[in-house]
Amino acid sequence: KSEKWPGKPGHFFCSREPCERRGSTGIIGIHHQPGRPSHKDPIIDPHQTLLQTCRALEIQGLYSQALDALNTAAATGGNLKISEQAVRLCLLTAAWQDLPRWSERYRQHCEDHLSRGGESRHAPGILNYLPDSQDLHRRAAGYYASQLSAGTEKLNPGLSAGDGRLAIGYLSADFQAHAVGFLLADVFQHHDREKFRVIAYDLSPAEGPLPERFRTHADLYRPVDKLSNLQTAQLIAHDGVQILIDLAGYTRDGRPGILTHRPAPLILSWLGYLNTLGADFVDGVIADPRLLPAAEQTAYSEQILHLPGLFTPTSRLPVASPLMSRKEAGLPADQFVFACFNNAFKIRPEDFDAWAEILRQKENSVLWLYTAGHGDLEKGLRRQATKRGIDPARLIFAPWLPIDMHMARMPLADLFLDTINYNAGATAVCSLSAGVPVLTKAGDRMLSRMGASLNYSLGLESMTVSDVQTYIRSAVELARDELKLREVREKLKPSQENLNPLFSLVEFTAGYEQLLISAWEGIR
């Protein structure tokens, strides 16, 4: 995860170690031997030196140079953090020629870390972007969770009845202009206040209209960015929270260390991290039957809890007026526009292979991609297009825009092409709410079934395919058959009963609340 959505350059391009509260770091990695006074000669760790040099280059926006530095030093073999950083940089610059080597090296470093019981903490998040890594992720997540939990004080508050209402605490760094924030924004106000008390614990307080919506519609708003994990947990317990909803998991700004203190009787994971946390301090994961079937329970440490409908709320998104024109967006007026606004982490060679074939078969078309003005990524994507025999001029790059302006340009696309290994989530909601259909391929894990779940909720099962060849054929057929595409788009248009079939927040919240009540009754 960890992107600010829609992301500005630097919001998800600069890697930070997940879950660690970090101070400033220098360019040179200097470590002192245990037990020796700090004034003694330091020991210079070449791996740490290389890693911090790369991070310094990233801060300057020099991502390709940072990857070059890692490739030059590749003969040293690197370590877990170096190979992780290299995988990130390969994805962020579309340097896919280096991706297989660094991906395999990272997997091997993970296996070594697990087999020898490495002391350093390492969150498994980057594995979400690598295919065929689900088993390794499960084991790495479990080990990381055990490290976080070891020796922590457990609060274990009782099943207090409070004021008779069920006290729900939401823990997140994303009560702001972020994918999770936009999805969740309207849920607080739709909670039944006769049955529920809503408390927000903000890990990263911000200003603006969206954060203000959360503060306004919470019964109690708690900024906790200045508190330690234990202090935050004690505050949650003091507030009498009965169900704590973690919306971050092992993402960059998440703080799962708070959860290790067991500050509430029931702790659930939702939206922010669509994979198992492998943790005995998280009791359940909220999903829907299409996103996470019950048959996959053995792969999850959490109890799978199913919502009656879609796995995510879809709060209304602001739209600037007037809508943008194709000329203003830099798009051709008379060509078919395929689009993908997923962040660079999600785009893999397999996606681009399929997209190139679609462009090859559908003449007079372009591919509109979100790059946020990231020059190294744009160069890499043009290079990949040329390699596949596609004129790089057929790639149109979209800059970062505020969400209301982004929504004003989104209807200019004709068809959204989802990424295969890691689907669009909030970005797909954005596209669908703008009336642009999403063509997706359903995969074998939560992260690759978000598109399928969204399409199912809209009665657009035909827009979900099971293999890449059908994905290509369907995209080309829709682009060539104006009537067929119009029929699909008609299902996304507002009706008299509903402004948009995706935005049934009252119905969604009622089903979500029933899930919470059932989960609570299950532990009483």
Residue at 138 is within a domain? no
Counting residues of the chain whose pLDDT is more than 70, the rounded percentage is 89
Give Cβ neighbours of residue 465 (< 8 Å, ≥ 6 apart).
439, 440, 441, 442, 471, 474
CA distance 360 to 381: 16
Confidence of residue 23 (pLDDT cuts 50, 70, 90): very low
Per-residue pLDDT for 94 more than 70? yes
Domain-terminating residue out of 120, 155, 188: 120
Q: Are 307 and 270 in contact (CB under 8 A)?
A: no
Per-residue pLDDT for 163 more than 80? yes
Q: Which residue has the higher pLDDT, 453 or 317?
A: 453
Whether residue 485 is found in the same domain as residue 514: no
Residue at 500 is within a domain? no
Confidence of residue 7 (pLDDT cuts 50, 70, 90): very low
Residue at 137 is within a domain? no
What DSSP designation does 346 have?
Answer: G
Nearest CA to 467 among 423, 420, 428? 420
Domain tally, the chain: 3
Per-residue pLDDT for 43 more than 60? no
Per-residue pLDDT for 37 more than 90? no
Whether residue 298 is found in the same domain as residue 346: no
Q: Are 285 and 305 in contact (CB under 8 A)?
A: yes
CATH classification of the domain holding 279: 3.40.50.11380
Q: Indicate the pTM of the whole model.
A: 0.90
Greatest alpha-carbon pair distance for the chain in Å reads: 76
Residue at 10 is within a domain? no
Give Cβ neighbours of residue 187 (< 8 Å, ≥ 6 apart).
313, 315, 505, 508, 509, 512
> What pLDDT is attached to residue 49?
85
Q: Which residue has the higher pLDDT, 254 or 3?
A: 254
Per-residue pLDDT for 399 more than 90? yes
Tens digit of each residue's pLDDT (9 = 90 or more) over 482-512: 999 999 999 888 654 454 556 688 899 999 9
Confidence of residue 75 (pLDDT cuts 50, 70, 90): low
Confidence of residue 477 (pLDDT cuts 50, 70, 90): very high
> What pLDDT is attached to residue 295?
97
Whether residue 407 is found in the same domain as residue 373: yes
Mean pLDDT score across all residues of the chain? 89
- Residue span of the structural domain in which 422 resides: 326-490
CA distance 115 to 109: 10
Per-residue pLDDT for 46 more than 50? yes
Can you state the angle between helices 80-92 and 63-72, rounded to 10 degrees?
140
Residue type, 45: D
Q: Are 247 and 176 in contact (CB under 8 A)?
A: no
CA distance 516 to 307: 10
Residue at 140 is within a domain? no
